[in-house]
Amino acid sequence: MSIVLTVAPQINTVLGGSTLVSYDHVVLSPINFNQEANSINATVRLTSTADPTMDVIQGRLVIDLSAGTLLFAIEQLDIVRKMNLSGGQITAAGLIMSNAADALEAGILDLGVAAGIQATGA
């Protein structure tokens, strides 16, 4: 999955140059869910579909459900967005994290990787 930006940042193709290329493709990978810390962390990768040979620009996404904040940062482009999450957004992100963990645990049991019974809320 990815995001295609409708307003993409433009960057010179070479240092000191005047030819711009749009960086319009955002991929969040890897994404780490930490239920103990109640947080979601991801690496943000920004690329250009117009010129795939351009270097990847990396940033970060940090969602802290305990503090109720989201940080999206690509420092190289001076993009830093921090926002407070609503109660509904915190609940939704927590459910996404919990559902992902539940699905992975069920898959481990279904494949026979581990023998046991899936516990809820543990």
pLDDT, tens digit (0-9, with 9 covering 90-100), for 37-89: 999 999 999 999 999 999 999 999 999 999 999 999 999 989 999 999 999 99
pLDDT value for 32: 94
Average pLDDT over residues 25-30: 95
Q: What are the tokens at 87?
A: 């109660």
pLDDT higher than threshold 80 for residue 1:
no
Please list the helix, strand and coil fractions of the chain in percent, rounded to the nearest 5, in that order.
Answer: 20, 40, 40
pTM of the model: 0.82
DSSP string, 70-91: EEEEEGGGTEEEEEEPPHHHHH
Specify which residues 41 forms β-bridges with: 32, 62
pLDDT higher than threshold 60 for residue 122:
no
Q: What CA–CA distance (Å, rounded) separates 22 from 54? A: 10
